[in-house]
Amino acid sequence: MSSTDDRRAQVLRAIVSDYISSQEPVGSKTLVDRHNLGVSSATIRNDMAVLEDEGLITQPHTSSGRVPTEKGYRQFVDSIEEVKPLSRAERHAIQSFLGEAVDLDDVLRRAVRLLAQLTQQVAVIQYPLLSQAKVRHLEVVDLTPSRILLVVITDTGRVEQRVVEMGSTVAEDDIAALRTLLGQAVSGKKLADASSDLAEAAAQSPEYIRPFAVQLSSALIESLVEEPEKRLLLGGTANLTRNAAQFDGSLQRVLEALEEQVVLLKLLASARSLGTGPGHVTVQIGRETNTEDLVGTAVVAGQYGSGHDYLGSMGVLGPTRMDYPGTMAQVAAVAQYVGQIISGR
């Protein structure tokens, strides 16, 4: 990169940073006064003209300063070589707050609330994917002689329950045999693998319990299929109102999009496809979300898990005028501790 290109990159970074902090269009005099760019206002104006021609900044009003475009924000984000980690005190506060959680649901509720508070944006977190979890325990309980409760507990702390109407009486001895048969088929296995093992175990079970085993294994397999409506938690929606003027489109359209969990799941899935695993943070800006109602927004998302094993995603959504470096650091930190806590349960 030539010295001129390097300076123009500095000018773009300065415009993005100043606009994020001031919410006002940035002029050449402001850049000269606030940043040590080593050139005159005339040179800065020339650089701004080139940046505008390249579609990186725009002039919202005649005789006003410049503001970044989606393309400008993207170049700014791509130029961030390393996300500055949070301070030791900040990391300790996050770890302590999440560490006080009593179960998986509490961990996720605390995480989404904390992320919304830290970033002042809307936060979203995905429940650990069942397909990636391993079965820690399977319990078979006879509620009545013909009604059975199946309880699956995963290594992430997630609990799935299913009541099965058997249609006929199941003896206590048969309940014990079914508990052993089904438990051995799934214990310690990933749920994606456990489904096929359940079906095989039921098909090969002793004849006297085979009808019951087939019925229960079918119910379990259905329970192990993801239920999208139960997979997300949302927090901090009220934060959007503080930035209502910053959205290119209607805030109402953004709020309506957030109510469609399939939209959020798609955004998190897209972010995961862009990332490299737990610890990596991705940024989708404006039209990159591929959602018309979210054109004026940006999504910063990260993944949590254990080592290289992916468990789920989380992130924040806000206006494109966002503190990207700070938000990326906060999402990365919360994702890291959520992964550690869930994996350790």
| CA atoms within 13 Å, Cβ hemisphere of 70 | 16
In the chain, where does the domain assigned CATH 1.10.10.10 lie? 3-78
CATH architecture of residue range(s) 3-78: Orthogonal Bundle (1.10)
With a cut of 50, list the residues of the chain below it in pLDDT.
228-229
The whole-angstrom separation of Cα 305 and Cα 337 is 9
The whole-angstrom separation of Cα 297 and Cα 30 is 26
What are the two backbone dihedrals, phi and then psi, of residue 163, each rounded to the nearest 5 degrees? -95, 130
In the chain, where does the domain assigned CATH 3.30.390.10 lie? 131-224
CATH of domain 131-224: 3.30.390.10
Check residue 247 and give its pLDDT: 67
The CA-based angle 226-229-230, given to 5 degrees, is: 70
pTM for the whole thing? 0.78
> What is the C-alpha end-to-end distance of the chain, expressed in Å?
49
Please name which of 223, 217, 212, 179 lies closest in space to residue 197, comparing C-alpha atoms: 217
**Assigned CATH topology for domain 88-128+229-343:** Beta-Lactamase (3.30.450)
Write b or e for each residue in 72-102: b if 16 or more Cβ atoms lie within 10 A of its Cβ, otherwise e. bbbbbbeeeeebeebeeeeeeebbebbeebe
Residues written for the chain: 345
